[in-house]
Amino acid sequence: MLTRFEDFDRPFVMLDQLRRLIEEEQPRARRREATDEVERMWSGRFPRVTFTETSDNLVLEADLPGLADKDVQLSIHQDVLSLSGERRADVPQGFFVHRQERAPVKFARSFTLPCKVDPEKSNATLKNGVLTVTLAKAHAAKPRQIAVNAK
């Protein structure tokens, strides 16, 4: 059984080609991984909210850093409050981005309301990056006292 010397070198050449492919792919994989991480971070969890209830109102507070009132849309349909918007990354003409940790993002979240609300008496304000939505409960949804009569 005779073997050519070139056949011994062949597995090492293939291993070297594999090593080169892996080294070329690593930076691309890191970029994809970083992009996927940003998408996972934003999807379904942005903006962070706190939803509270008082006797007369439902109050939603949402953290919306870097957004203006024109970038946010609110709507109420039946018993669902929808919040959507977009943060853009506008780079001025002639400037370059060297590092971007605040990614542009589009978001949409919906919240099922625990009771009926009166949209006409509701309001929303955006101050210092915090959106506060105050939803007035409908008259039928407000708690009422029931008098107890002794006989």
Lowest mean pLDDT among 25-29, 62-66, 79-83, 89-93: 25-29
Confidence of residue 136 (pLDDT cuts 50, 70, 90): very high
- pLDDT, tens only, 55-69: 889 999 999 988 899
Could you list the beta-strand ranges (E) of 9-138.
49-53, 57-63, 72-77, 80-87, 105-112, 117-127, 130-137
Query: Distance (Å, rounded) from C-alpha 122 to C-alpha 124?
Result: 7
Q: What is the DSSP letter of 139?
A: G
Extract the tokens encoding 13: 């050449």
Higher pLDDT, 26 or 130: 130
Phi, psi of 84 (to 5 degrees): -145, 165
Higher pLDDT, 61 or 90: 61
Average pLDDT across the chain, whole number: 82
- pLDDT, tens only, 16-31: 888 888 887 777 766 6
Q: What is the DSSP letter of 91?
A: P
Cβ-based neighbour number of residue 39 at 10 Å: 11
- What pLDDT was estimated at residue 39? 59
Provide the percentage of residues in the chain whose pLDDT is more than 90. Answer: 32
